[in-house]
Amino acid sequence: MRKNIVAGNWKMNKDFAGAQSLMEELAAYAANSSANCEIYIAPPALYTVTAKNIFEYSKVEVFTQDISEHESGAYTGEISADMIKSVGAKGAIIGHSERRQYHGETDSHCNKKVKLALDKGLTPIYCNGETLEQRKAGQHLDVVKNQTETALFTLSADEIKKVVIAYEPVWAIGTGETATPEQAQEIHAHIRSLIAAKYGQEVADEVSILYGGSVKPDNAKEIFSQPDIDGGLIGGAALKIEDFSKIIGAFN
């Protein structure tokens, strides 16, 4: 049975005091939340140990925003899967659109990272999604198909069930364009159908697929009510406890 998940990606935001304050607010909220979902946060990697300490007895699981494709070695600035596991992180976001755009990450890189994360017992949140140009050219289904197959389809059936997928319509983030719940559902259903074609419907029905396109308190319930959308990967709204808690509460 797939899980409902609300994951907060803090990106490169908050100084230490601000991050600690937000974590404490979230821990207090989570202690009293009856929402039917798992809660993940991915703060800047520097704060992973602090986050793990604050959420030690909480429902909130801690992720990092990336991991290296290498196990260890002379890779200055990189953070390994073993490192994040050793401080208690549950997993890592892999292939976020900003990593692709600013750091040149490809689906081949993502494939290595996903496999390494799984080998280390971590949960990968694998991100995919098309750009505005690709959407306008009608290439969105093919783009997402190629991303999904290249990054994930070397996995076994048991492995892919442990992956969380986050669909990011890059064209609807900071462009003034808006994805409707129906457009989001179309891609989520498409991704699930690809998994079903490769691994069978039973496996596909166990994979959680999150929506990563500007989820807000006022649209979360409608988005999460779509049959193939199992939650959200939240950006800006995860930085305000008032907004993030309302999005989590959409699963009440």
Domain layout of the chain by residue ranges: 5-251
Which residue ranges make up the annotated binding site for substrate? 9-11, 174, 214, 235-236
| Res 171: pLDDT | 86
Q: What percent of the chain shows pLDDT beyond 70?
A: 98
| Res 14: pLDDT | 98
168 classed as catalytic: yes
The conformational region for residue 14 under phi > 0 = left, psi -120 to 50 = alpha, else beta, is left
Closest CA relative to residue 60, chosen from 32, 95, 94, 18: 32
Q: Give yes or no for a contact between 35 and 249, defined as CB atoms under 8 angstroms apart.
A: yes
Which residue ranges make up the annotated binding site? 9-11, 174, 214, 235-236
- Which candidate in 69, 98, 168, 188 is catalytic? 168
71 classed as catalytic: no
Partners of 124 in beta bridges: 92
| Res 176: pLDDT | 63
**pTM (2 decimals)?**
0.96
Positions in the chain whose pLDDT score sits under 70: 174-176, 178
| Res 95: pLDDT | 97
| Res 1: pLDDT | 76
For 5-251, CATH gives: 3.20.20.70
From CA 57, how far away is CA 45, in angstroms rounded?
Answer: 20
- Which candidate in 96, 109, 140, 188 is catalytic? 96
